[in-house]
Structure 1
Amino acid sequence: MPKIKTHLWYDQQAEEAANFYTSLFEDSRVTDVITYENAGPEGQTVKIVTFELMGQEYIALDGGPEFRFNESFSLYVECDSAEEVDHYWNKLIEGGGEESYCGWLKDRFGMSWQVVPRILDELLQDPDTAKADRVMQAMLKMRKIEVQGLLDAANAA
């Protein structure tokens, strides 16, 4: 049975990115680094780095500057608490990352991430549609999703 793996293209930052990501998440590790000398553009060294984030396998390639990440692809981090949201949000934007809206950010390598508290889905699926709509409207105004702000919107009359 075939395996589906996520393949990520970097411009000479594959190993640095893999080491950074695996340092953030428990049960994560770099499993393989293959180096090819004079294989990239203008004779650059190319690395293929295989790593796991919480059991999910990824392959990172030093492919050169031809292709860049964009927001059409992101990694989704579902958090159990406001503290987890803060932890991952702050770590992922440090060193040159950029905040966006609605829980989206780009890390310093250009990878898009969504850092989302689990309670958001619960509140958006509330049978009280007015409550769910207030939560959605509050979330749309946020950069980092603030759990207390969601709860305040849910409980507003």
Structure 2
Amino acid sequence: MQKISTFLWFDDQAEAAARFYTSVFADSRIVGTTHYTEAGPGAAGTVMTVTFELAGQSYTALNGGPIFPFTEAISLQVDCADQQEVDELWTKLTADGGEDGQCGWIKDRYGLSWQLVPRVLTELIADPDRAKASRVIAAMLQMQKIDVGKLLDAAEG
């Protein structure tokens, strides 16, 4: 078991969310499910938690009620190998009620924020040529979904 893992609080969609997320990412699976008992606070027999893995990373989803909704203060960042991966994940994660955001951020249908970051963006903004890095950042700030071609054009000046 992983020592530190991410815990996600849902209203009552923990199981649906876990199934959705494990369908989106390779090397993912549902590990286990617990149910509320007569002790509550949820209705006895309903799903309390779902433990799942995304690309080998452990998560737990809780059906905790509407007390604590997601905000952009926390997001899951995905290292994307290329534009194709960004495009595929953007389409899947925004489907059926998700929302486009700025600078590679999106919200899925459950309200969880994601950052889809092409690896080249990280490399370009870390470039020792600070003028190049600044041009790339300026270009990225104008985007919703990150466009690798436009980042490379900005890097060239």
TM value normalised by structure 2: 0.93
> Aligned residue for 1:146?
147
Q: How does 1:30-69 map to 2 (within 5 A)?
A: 30-37=30-37, 39-40=40-41, 43=43, 45-69=46-70
One-letter amino acid of the counterpart of residue 140, structure 2: M
CA distance in 2: counterparts of 1:36 and 1:119, whole angstroms: 45
Match for residue 104 of structure 2?
Answer: 103
- What CA distance in whole angstroms lies between the structure 2 residues aligned with 1:121 and 1:2? 26
- Preserved CA contact (<8 Å) 1:40 1:64: no
Count the aligned residue pairs. Answer: 155
Residue type of the alignment partner of 1:130: A
Identical positions, percent: 57
2:114 aligns with 113
Say which SS state the counterpart of residue 32 (structure 2) adopts.
Answer: strand
Q: Which runs of 5+ in 2 are unaligned?
A: none
Distance 1:2-1:18 versus aligned 2 partners, 3 A rule: closer
- Superposition RMSD in Å: 1.6
| Aligned equivalent of 1:81 | 82
Using the TM superposition, name which of 123-132 and 43-52 deviates more.
43-52
Contact 1:46 1:63 in 2 (8 A): no
Q: Give the gaps of 5 or more residues in structure 1.
A: none
CA-CA distance at 1:46 after TM superposition = 3.8
